[in-house]
Structure 1
Amino acid sequence: MSLYGIYNTEYSRLRFSGLVSGVDTGYMIEQLMYIEKMKVDKVEQDKQILEWKRDMYRDVTNKLRAFSDKYFNLLKPETNFRSLSAFNLFNISSSNEKAVTAVAGSAAESKVYTIQVHSLASGAKIEGTSNITRNIIASEAVEDFQLVGRKINVTLDGVTKTIELKDYSDIDHMIEDINASLSKAFGAGKVKVSNSGGRVEFNVLLNGSTLMLADGTSFSGDLKKLGFMPEDNTSNRISLASGLESIKDNFKNTLAIDNPEENVVFTINDVVIDVGKSYKNATLRDVMNAINNSDAGVRIQYDSLNDKFTLTSTVEGAASSITFVDTHEENGLLKALGIVDGTYTQGTDAEFTLNGVEGMKRSSNQFTIDGVRFSLNEISEEEVTIEIKNDIDAVVENIKGLVEDYNKILDEINGLIHQKKNRDYRPLTKEQKDAMSEKEIELWEEKAKEGLLSNDNILFNILNEMRKALFDKVEGVSISVFDIGISTGAYYERGKLTLDEAKLKSALMNNFDEVVKLFTTKPEDSGVNTVNDREKVVQNYNQSGITQRIYDILQKNIRTTRDSSGKKGILLEKAGIVGDASEFNNLIVDEIKAKDSMIQKMLEIMYQKEEAYYRKFTAMEKMLSQMESQSVWLMQQLGLG
């Protein structure tokens, strides 16, 4: 039977009692069971207290984890006080940011650099031939010059004009009229139509302009009347959105396609690039995306102004190169795009003079020297000065933040272990909650939770160890936290830290290395498991900087990984955290389960005792009923009835 199934039975069974005796046996049994119910309530209250304690421990654990993540996380170098990175914060200035900029890493030092850029690094490049698209020329000669009612739409650089055709005597007459209409529509000297052996040819006279032709009436055939077939090119620019098969004849170098159903496949830098689509379905945009997303180490771009493609290596330096194998031996895709006949430029190294050292070269325009990452942006005629200074103010602010957050943790834990327990408030029973409002319940439970972790050994030890870690001497370091302006407040503040910012700033400016060592020093055997070697534990502690000590203390309590004994952090072993295996496997959870088992057994006993009471009263009622029947019979026999 389930835990609360038994408990609810007494309320779900319908009983009739006291029918003969007139005694309210239900009430009497309820009173007899009251003392048993009180016992169950007490265990349930104890269980509730355990659940509150578990949640309080978890709240402390989460606050300690947040503190550790903020100030001891390798992924947050600017505030990772176990590393030099928290102290190596710099102000960087460049006398010519257009030419050179710099970023200081954790290994950098305050220093002034002079640099002159003689040449920039570049990747290998193939600049394709320009104007890869065929001229706009009809494939057939005009046969019928009676063109009244026919129209063509001419789009020049996004502006569309409708040219109305007329009846003409011959092709020259027609071309003269169309040219006049184009000059009127767009202005003279922009688009010209000419006679190319009886065929109509459109030419753009402006560099970088795009021209497109289309039928001008609702029914098709206007361009066909001018000799244009469906496969003819009607734009002076290649379409990136059209299928390769449909535009294969629009290139000056006609694209050879043996089988339209085959996938487009070619090789660049020994990397086979399969576009994943057939010539029938693949567009030039698909081809470009396949190249740019491949491991070939190149990028392809289309320049619509010059109607050309450019293939550039993503790897800079003299060693970069571009090789390829086209889709077809003579008339492949790369030839159609102008790449095969394009101009090849070998990659080059960046060349510069740094701090008087001439002839320095790097294969990239970004490189790191002495912890400083330089970025070369353009050639400089004069020396550029890069000045790197420690940003003392930023370090002071970070340490100030560390002290403030440490004090918040201190206040939180001190508030728990020094709070007096209010013994007049116990967790409410179900009956008590039913008689109260939600606000009354909330206020009551606030009182009931007070002092639950009063004088708690785990929390007391955490505070005591952290205080000790701050003020114990660090071996091999000539200063202490007092020398950098960190001290404790009044005794009633229970170890709360105060910070003299001016003293800290002075220590950083005048004794920077010792301040860094005070925080970040690591023991000689930091990578060795010394948990079971007490002597080594003490030695490592003495050799550790103050933040390394605090980190170790936190990890001892909030660690999610297991040590050589198979144990997680002390707080996790005690109460666990949500999202970890310890959530359902910890000491408090075991105690809660024990309380559940106890409640289960007590309810079973309570149910059995209640049933026994009802059986006894039922037997009494039965006997009284029999006695009453006998009395009635005797009275009848004596004629008294």
Structure 2
Amino acid sequence: MAGIRVGGLASGMDIDQIITDLMKAERMPLDKLAQKKQYLEWQRDDYRSINKSLLELDQLIFDGVLRQSSFSKKTVSVSNPGAVSIKNINSTADFSGSIQVKRLASAASMYSKASSTIDSTAKLSDLGITGPITIEAIGKDGSLNTKQVTIDPEKDTLDTLIVKINSQTDVSAYFDKASGKFSISAKNTGDVAGGPEIVLGGDLNFWSALNMDLTSDDAVANNVGTAGVNAEIVYNGMPIVRSSNTFAINGVEISLKAVTDGPVTFSSATDTDAILDTIVKFVDQYNSLIEKIKGELEEKRYRDFQPLTSEQKDSMNEKDIERWEEKARSGTLRGDSILSGALNKMRMDLYTAVSGIAGKNQLAEIGIKTSSNYMDGGKLVIDTDKLRAALTENPNGVYEIFAKNGGTSAEQGLGRRLRDTIKSTMLNIEKRAGKASSTNNAFTLGRNLLNIDSQINRFEDRLIKVEDRYWRQFTAMEKAIQKANSQSAYLMQQFSY
């Protein structure tokens, strides 16, 4: 750190101000380096903003027009929704039919034959129970699944073991402390053909202490349980048995709620509005991206407005700084080759027909065209009536235009082509501008910034030396003046005699 310097005592000159002014001239190249650094940082941030918008469109495509479920949305009408609920899962074709519910599926259950005197908070070891226990129960597929529950006799109680049973097996257990009875019910409905739906095993002392039969069939025979029952329906005139009240047929989920005296009719229709909304969201996001990229490519560069230095900002108010930097930051990506190339490629991706599709195979045929205003830069415009008609006629065909798989770009759907272009563009931008987690030496602009930082550090070291030299020179001048003043005073004194 430089010491306190006082100049001008002999000369009467403001040496500090003179050197400050001289250093301003010396610092001009340093200010230019700082301005260049600021501009590169703005450029880097603008690139990353474009990448953020590209990623948002990529995710919207993936979650929207590339999902078949987006195009298989249907409205389903049911004549008795209190008895039967129907939801489309992945059926692309419209469906209709009838269901008569003969019997609902129910779950097996069993409970203690007699009350027990077990203290549910006592350690199991005190009850002579060491475990483990096993529980076989009907699974979702209608067959028995065996689950083992381990026991720590010195820590577990009946209460803690019930928690384990409920979380680790296909049954729900409950102990009623008031009556001293224990109950188990299967989590899944249905009947296991030729056998019980619940089988208890392992440490038999545990089940004996609770006065439990070992199978649900035994419990039914002893009037302390109920058997699991399958659902029985008549589907389009054909008898069908299912272990659950909720099941799928031909991509349609059916949920039974109540027994019916006669058939319940149902029919579906394409939910055109929901599918249309998916496509509109894609078009809006694409247009927003096109507008942003086009704006960056055509934004004017004001070369007379360079980034402000700290000293310049100190002499300006906030509004003036804001207006100045708005122009200084303008045009950072003007005419950029990466963005212009991406813009052209995205247009080609969407305008080129998809080969290998019978019937409609390009956007124009389903009511999506390019804006006639060339100033829009290739934005898409939707003819809602034409698109709605295409979706009503063949929603799966519209899905293929966006999502068809193919070995070549020409055979791929428009959404897949667009995602490929987005990914390659994002990669090119990352090579130039990196991302938030990148280190500066990993991308081009970052390496340029490191180089400028190095130049700034070297220049600042040089400025320290220059300032020291100025002070030495002015100090020498002050000494010479002081000496001359002393000699002059001496001569004046001699001549005065």
TM-score normalised by the chain length of structure 2: 0.85
- For 1:185-219, what per-residue CA distance to the aligned partner results, in whole angstroms no more than 9, with x for missing partners? xxxxxxxxxxxxxxxxxxxxxxxxxxxxxxxxxxx
Relative to 1, partners in 2 of residues 1:306 and 1:108: Cα closer, same or farther, differing over 3 Å?
Answer: farther
Q: Secondary structure at the match of 1:382?
A: coil
1:367 matched to 2:265? The reply is: no
Q: Secondary structure at the match of 2:126?
A: coil
Relative to 1, partners in 2 of residues 1:106 and 1:592: Cα closer, same or farther, differing over 3 Å?
Answer: farther
1:450 matched to 2:330? The reply is: yes
What are the equivalent positions in structure 2 for 1:170-249 lying under 5 Å apart?
243-244=121-122
- For 1:335-370, what per-residue CA distance to the aligned partner results, in whole angstroms no more than 9, with x for missing partners? 499999663544444333323333x33333322222
- Deviation of the 1:299 alpha carbon: 0.5
Contact 1:121 1:365 in 2 (8 A): yes
Contact 1:573 1:587 in 2 (8 A): yes
Instruction: Select which of 598, 602, 607 maps to 2:459.
Output: 602
Contact 1:485 1:499 in 2 (8 A): yes
The size of the alignment, in residue pairs, is: 477
Contact 2:92 2:396 in 1 (8 A): no
Which residue number in structure 2 is paired with residue 623 of structure 1? 480
Worse overlay, 82-91 or 476-485? 476-485
- Deviation of the 1:511 alpha carbon: 4.4
Q: Secondary structure at the match of 1:117?
A: strand
Which residue number in structure 2 is paired with residue 355 of structure 1? 236
Cα separation, 2, equivalents of 1:119 and 1:582:
66
- For 1:457-492, what per-residue CA distance to the aligned partner results, in whole angstroms no more than 9, with x for missing partners? 222222221112111122123432111111122112
Relative to 1, partners in 2 of residues 1:584 and 1:63: Cα closer, same or farther, differing over 3 Å?
Answer: farther
Which residue number in structure 2 is paired with residue 322 of structure 1? 199
Which residue number in structure 2 is paired with residue 487 of structure 1? 369
Contact 2:229 2:243 in 1 (8 A): yes
- Deviation of the 1:15 alpha carbon: 1.0
**For residue 427 of structure 1, what is the amino acid of its counterpart?**
P
Relative to 1, partners in 2 of residues 1:463 and 1:541: Cα closer, same or farther, differing over 3 Å?
Answer: same
- Deviation of the 1:90 alpha carbon: 0.8
Instruction: Select which of 299, 304, 313 maps to 1:433.
Output: 313
Q: Secondary structure at the match of 2:409?
A: helix
Cα separation, 2, equivalents of 1:301 and 1:385:
40
Relative to 1, partners in 2 of residues 1:327 and 1:584: Cα closer, same or farther, differing over 3 Å?
Answer: farther
Q: Secondary structure at the match of 1:113?
A: strand
1:268 matched to 2:135? The reply is: yes
Q: Computing the radius of gyration over CA atoms, which structure comes out larger, 1 or 2? A: 1
1:515 matched to 2:398? The reply is: yes
1:289 matched to 2:160? The reply is: no
1:83 matched to 2:54? The reply is: no
1:551 matched to 2:419? The reply is: yes
Relative to 1, partners in 2 of residues 1:350 and 1:262: Cα closer, same or farther, differing over 3 Å?
Answer: closer
Relative to 1, partners in 2 of residues 1:575 and 1:509: Cα closer, same or farther, differing over 3 Å?
Answer: same
Q: Secondary structure at the match of 1:543?
A: coil
- Deviation of the 1:541 alpha carbon: 1.3
Q: Secondary structure at the match of 2:442?
A: coil
Instruction: Select which of 308, 311, 314 maps to 2:184.
Output: 311
Contact 2:125 2:154 in 1 (8 A): no
- For 1:293-336, what per-residue CA distance to the aligned partner results, in whole angstroms no more than 9, with x for missing partners? 12x21102457998754311224443443323456278524549
Which residue number in structure 2 is paired with residue 410 of structure 1? 290
Relative to 1, partners in 2 of residues 1:357 and 1:13: Cα closer, same or farther, differing over 3 Å?
Answer: farther
Cα separation, 2, equivalents of 1:634 and 1:326:
123
- Deviation of the 1:452 alpha carbon: 1.8
TM-score normalised by the chain length of structure 1: 0.67
- Deviation of the 1:48 alpha carbon: 1.0
Contact 1:124 1:322 in 2 (8 A): no
Which residue number in structure 1 is paired with residue 27 of structure 2? 37
**For residue 510 of structure 1, what is the amino acid of its counterpart?**
E
- Deviation of the 1:26 alpha carbon: 2.3
Which residue number in structure 2 is paired with residue 63 of structure 1? 53
Which residue number in structure 1 is paired with residue 126 of structure 2? 259
Relative to 1, partners in 2 of residues 1:584 and 1:118: Cα closer, same or farther, differing over 3 Å?
Answer: farther
**For residue 357 of structure 1, what is the amino acid of its counterpart?**
M
Cα separation, 2, equivalents of 1:351 and 1:483:
47
**For residue 422 of structure 2, what is the amino acid of its counterpart?**
L
1:400 matched to 2:276? The reply is: no
- Deviation of the 1:88 alpha carbon: 1.0
- Deviation of the 1:121 alpha carbon: 3.6
Gaps of 5+ in 1: 1-8, 74-78, 135-237, 246-256, 526-539, 559-568
Cα separation, 1, equivalents of 2:215 and 2:178:
15
1:474 matched to 2:354? The reply is: yes
Relative to 1, partners in 2 of residues 1:411 and 1:18: Cα closer, same or farther, differing over 3 Å?
Answer: same
- For 1:1-47, what per-residue CA distance to the aligned partner results, in whole angstroms no more than 9, with x for missing partners? xxxxxxxx6xx642112222333332222222222212111111111
Cα separation, 2, equivalents of 1:508 and 1:331:
64
Cα separation, 2, equivalents of 1:326 and 1:496:
72
Contact 1:465 1:553 in 2 (8 A): yes
Cα separation, 2, equivalents of 1:583 and 1:315:
57
**For residue 470 of structure 2, what is the amino acid of its counterpart?**
Y
Which residue number in structure 2 is paired with residue 179 of structure 1? none
- Deviation of the 1:549 alpha carbon: 1.3
Contact 1:326 1:333 in 2 (8 A): no
Cα separation, 1, equivalents of 2:130 and 2:275:
59
Which residue number in structure 2 is paired with residue 532 of structure 1? none
Higher helix share: 2
- For 1:491-548, what per-residue CA distance to the aligned partner results, in whole angstroms no more than 9, with x for missing partners? 122212211100111222234443222111111x3xxxxxxxxxxxxxx211111111
Contact 1:50 1:588 in 2 (8 A): yes
Cα separation, 2, equivalents of 1:514 and 1:108:
10
Gaps of 5+ in 2: 137-145
1:506 matched to 2:419? The reply is: no
- Deviation of the 1:409 alpha carbon: 1.5
Which residue number in structure 2 is paired with residue 147 of structure 1? none
What are the equivalent positions in structure 2 for 1:149-188 lying under 5 Å apart?
none
**For residue 39 of structure 1, what is the amino acid of its counterpart?**
P
Cα separation, 1, equivalents of 2:179 and 2:92:
46
